[in-house]
Amino acid sequence: MDVLMGWGGQLLHGTLVTLEVAFAALALGLVWGILGALAQLSRWWAVRQFGFFFTLVMRGTPELLIILIIYFGGSVTLTGLAKSIGMAAGFVEIPAFAAGVFALSLVFGGYAAEVLRGAFLAIPKGQIEAAEAFGFSWWDAFTTVRLPQIWRFALPGLGNNWISLIKDTSLVSVVGLEEIMRVSGMATAVTGEPFRFYLIAAIIFYALTTSNGLIVAKLERRASRGERELAR
């Protein structure tokens, strides 16, 4: 008996799309997170307030709403721009993949900014002062002293955010992207087996989050290896 009822290929494709969205949002979200953390630690009041406002909005707004705002708001904006320069007469739609990645990256960045801010503050100030005493520029001190060390402090929090990001990819189905949830819904509509396919989707997500959780735990142990050796 075919448990997947002929939908194995589509479910595999949906899983790959889910991973593509998750990893792309992770990469872009880390950029937003670092920028957000640096903004909150800035010496300029306006920049600090913008950094806190960004994290407040991203953490306080439901992910589904952010996806819909980016998708529909971006499409309306692009349509208006295209019409204003005479490039298109119809509706310009943002690709669902791009909208989903960008929206989820903003959400991840909002949470990551708080984690990374704490990691930056955990680095002893004496190391930064020593780098400045040796004539390091701000950028050199950031790339050689701060950035390599923050991951040791930030990995536990970022790991939790990463697991949440994988689960949040299921929300991108609302804009038509054929990831796991969208494919499961299509299979349900065709076969009339909602319990079967949503259970399969749950198993796939469980496998993804569990395996990635183990990888994150291994990275945490590896990052703290030197600290444990010094403590002996």
Q: For each of the domains in the chain, give its residue range(s) and CATH number, in order of start.
A: 8-231 (1.10.3720.10)
The letter for the amino acid at 195 is F
Asked if 147 and 98 count as a contact pair (C-beta separation under 8 A), the reply is no
Tens-place pLDDT, residues 156-198: 999 999 999 999 999 999 999 999 999 999 999 999 999 999 9
Q: Quick one: average pLDDT of 69-84? A: 87
Residue 222 CA to residue 90 CA, distance in Å, equals 53
Please give the Cα distance from 109 to 127 (Å, whole number).
Answer: 27
Q: Is the pLDDT of residue 229 over 70?
A: no
Residue range 72-93: mean pLDDT, rounded: 80
Q: What are phi and psi of 61, to 5 degrees?
A: -105, 130
pLDDT at 226: 55
In the chain, what percentage of residues exceed pLDDT 90?
67
The answer to whether residues 40 and 205 touch, using CB atoms and an 8 Å cutoff, is: no
Is pLDDT at 7 greater than 80 in this prediction? yes
User: Looking at 36-50, 78-92, 145-159, which range is the least confident one?
Assistant: 78-92
Q: Is pLDDT of 2 > 80?
A: no
Instruction: Give kind and range of the element (H or E) at residue 69.
Output: none
Q: What pLDDT, on a 0 to 100 scale, did the predictor assign at position 89?
A: 62
Query: Average pLDDT for residues 69-98, to the nearest whole number?
Result: 84
Over residues 107-149, the pLDDT tens digits come to 999 999 999 999 988 888 888 778 878 778 777 887 788 877 8
Q: Say if residues 180 and 116 touch (Cβ distance below 8 Å).
A: no
- Average pLDDT of every residue of the chain: 89
DSSP state of 178: -
